[in-house]
Amino acid sequence: MPTVRFTRENREIAVADGTTILEAARAVGVEIESPCNAVGTCGKCKVRVDGAEVLACQTSVTRDTDVEVPDNAEQNASVRILTGSDVAFEYAVEPYITKRFADGETRVFGGDLPLGVERGDTTDAVYGIALDIGTTTLVAELIDLKTGAKLASESLLNPQTAFAQDVLTRIHFASETDDGVAILHRAFLAAFGDMRDKLTASARIEPRNIYEVVFSGNTAMLHMAIGVDPAPLGKFPYNSNVAGGEHVHADALGISPFGVIYLPPIISAFVGADITSGILATRLEQRRGTTLFIDIGTNGEMVLASDGRLSATSTAAGPAFEGMNITCGMRAGAGAIEAFHITDDGAITYSTIGNEPAVGICGSGLLDIVAELARTGVVDKGGRFAEKGVKSFEITENVHLTQKDVRQVQLAKGAIRAGLTALLAQLEVPETAVDEVLIAGSFGYHLRESSLLNLGLLPQSFAGNVRFVGNTSQSGAAAYLLSSAFRGYLADVTASVDKVELSNAPGFEKLFIASLGF
């Protein structure tokens, strides 16, 4: 049996002939990112073998092999993650967790349910965590449940991205890989533990005084965060093993022995608790007129609110917006091109995160670049480079955009545009009747209205009505944590949401094809 040696990590493993380098790495605990789940399409699992660069997921081992894995820790540590939203509303602090001191001991309650007893008077120490579990990022906020004060916040890349970037490929990994659910669950728990320790150290409190954690994320992310098999989400009729609007045990989180996890209500298999939190944060059900709420990401979720009536759908946009299947794509870290413009005289201007030399393109920069190429005619309406023979557009010596990259953006933007068009059509709401468009999410917050319009991701009739509201999943989770009254109320709201299935929309495939053009 050949031996694979990972030189930087000083680890080795004997494997069967034909084992891929990626399989060997996972077996020995060496992290190599494979956002496409080892299909070989993303190109992000590059390693060096005998001085040559190869894809770990496509390279089989037949002899003793030394492998050099690039160190991405510094780049990943610089990734910019949005931790809050631009919406706020007032509400009374009425948490689910309360404490009562009597006869020398403190009783801990969840609502009216006794959870446990502590020695002495600990009534001043009662905390919770509001956690946004994004497909790509994790954002946690430590909150004093007595005062409502927000004590500390932390954010990390979701470590599950190393195994699969978008929702569908992650469901596939969990379902088809040996111990896939356990692998993803352990990765999440390790990340949560890291954030928990940083939060408690920053606030100078003990983890045992954290009694509730609210998990806000899409339906698939909730499954993987609590170690439940998401396989039913990946096949018809797309059922969920998680109901939402419920508590589960928090034994694995390293908080109070009485601790619980609250899972907000979910709307459907692909419209999850992150959208429920977004509805709460924006008070969507109370808005007059017509408002369109869109969370743009690997899974494009959207809700249309018409004078309090809510209708929701989702569409699989894929990983292009995260830069993971783009030739020079990267996360929003130092050196990523985040904004791009072509002047009237044809000059290129761009900015990078941290004002560092350009090393790649993140999602917001990608949309800017393609939108500007389409606006100036470098790329035609069909998505092809207009000049015959041109196969790529050079931005710097090391950063460029290929024809394949443009196609990936077309597919992602086409999915979002077709989804919102079908949603409006099924509800017989003209595009011109939409009063306001709320773009939610960390990725969406860094976009420009002009790029969304120039790409055709949003119709021109939305011009001037687009508002970027930020991470409403996290701010909604904080509201759930601090006011238990929202839980029953939002359960009723979500139960009344009309669920629009795009697969049932008349002519959706033709609509999607028509939405690909610029």
pLDDT at position 418 = 94
pLDDT at position 287 = 94
Residues 127 and 244 in one domain: yes
Residues 25 and 114 in one domain: no
How do the residues of the chain divide into helix, strand and coil, expressed in percent and rounded to 5? 35, 25, 40
* Residue 450 within any structural domain of the chain: no
How far apart, in whole angstroms, are the C-alpha atoms of residue 110 and residue 120? 19
Query: Own/partner pairs for 3-6, CB < 8 Å, 24+ apart?
Result: 3/64, 3/65, 4/28, 4/61, 4/64, 4/65, 4/67, 5/64, 5/65, 5/66, 5/67, 6/30, 6/67, 6/68, 6/69
**Burial state string for 61-87 with b = 16 or more CB within 10 A and e = fewer than 16:** beeebebbbeebeebbebbbbbbbbbb
How far apart, in whole angstroms, are the C-alpha atoms of residue 474 and residue 277? 7
Q: With helix as H, strand as E and coil as C, how does 47-106 read?
A: EEECCEEEECCCCECCCCEEEECCCCHHHHHCCCCCCCECCCCCCCCECCEEEEEECCEE
H or E element at residue 371: helix 363-375
Which one, of 418, 465, 416, 460, lies nearest residue 438 by Cα? 465
Residues 39 and 131 in one domain: no
pLDDT at position 81 = 57
Phi, psi of 12, rounded to the nearest 5 degrees: -145, 160
**Is the pLDDT score of 144 beyond 90?**
yes
Residues 67 and 214 in one domain: no
Domain boundary among 249, 274, 299: 274
Residue of higher predicted confidence among 52 and 458: 458
pTM above 0.85, yes or no: yes
Give all strands of the β-sheet with 348-352 in edge-to-edge order: 348-352, 336-342, 360-361
Residues 154 and 53 in one domain: no
* Residue 186 within any structural domain of the chain: yes
DSSP, residue by residue, 382-397: TSSBSSTT--EEESSS
* Residue 383 within any structural domain of the chain: no
* Residue 293 within any structural domain of the chain: no
Domain interval for residue 121: 97-274
**Is the pLDDT score of 23 beyond 90?**
no
Give all strands of the β-sheet with 260-263 in edge-to-edge order: 150-157, 137-144, 127-133, 210-217, 260-263, 246-249
Q: With helix as H, strand as E and coil as C, how does 318-356 read?
A: CHHHHCCCCCCECCCCCCEEEEEEECCCCCEEEEEHHHC
Residues 61 and 102 in one domain: no
**Is the pLDDT score of 424 beyond 80?**
yes
pLDDT in tens, 211-263: 999 999 999 999 999 999 999 998 888 899 998 999 999 999 999 999 999 99
Residues 33 and 118 in one domain: no
Residues 38 and 171 in one domain: no
Partners of 20 in the beta sheet?
A: 60
What's the Cα-to-Cα distance from 407 to each of 209, 210, 382, rounded to whole Å? 50, 47, 10
Pairing status of strand 290-295 against strand 436-440 = parallel
Domain boundary among 251, 274, 297: 274
Q: For residue 78, what pLDDT band results from cuts at 50, 70 and 90?
A: very low
pLDDT at position 88 = 76
Structure tokens at 215: 């998990």
* Residue 516 within any structural domain of the chain: no
pLDDT at position 222 = 97
Q: Residue 518 in contact with residue 377, Cβ under 8 Å?
A: no
* Residue 433 within any structural domain of the chain: no
Q: Residue 138 in contact with residue 192, Cβ under 8 Å?
A: yes
Pairing status of strand 210-217 against strand 246-249 = unpaired
Partners of 392 in the beta sheet?
A: 402
Q: Residue 272 in contact with residue 295, Cβ under 8 Å?
A: no
Residues 169 and 105 in one domain: yes
Domain boundary among 53, 71, 89: 71
Domains contained in the chain, number: 2
Phi, psi of 261, rounded to the nearest 5 degrees: -110, 130
How far apart, in whole angstroms, are the C-alpha atoms of residue 454 and residue 115? 55
CATH assignment of the domain containing 59: 3.10.20.740
Which one, of 382, 401, 385, lies nearest residue 393 by Cα? 401
Residues 111 and 190 in one domain: yes
pLDDT in tens, 310-327: 999 998 887 778 777 899
pLDDT at position 84 = 64
Residue of higher predicted confidence among 350 and 442: 350
Residues 131 and 202 in one domain: yes
Strands, E assignment, 124-209: 127-133, 137-144, 150-157
Lowest mean pLDDT among 39-53, 410-424, 450-464: 39-53
pLDDT in tens, 158-199: 999 888 888 888 999 999 998 999 999 999 999 999 999 999
Q: Which residue type, as a one-letter code, is found at position 418?
A: A
Phi, psi of 477, rounded to the nearest 5 degrees: -60, -40
Residues 30 and 179 in one domain: no
**Cα atoms found within 13 Å of the Cα of residue 226, Cβ hemisphere only:** 25
Region 14-28 average pLDDT? 87
Residue of higher predicted confidence among 300 and 195: 195
CATH assignment of the domain containing 155: 3.30.420.480
* Residue 265 within any structural domain of the chain: yes
* Residue 420 within any structural domain of the chain: no
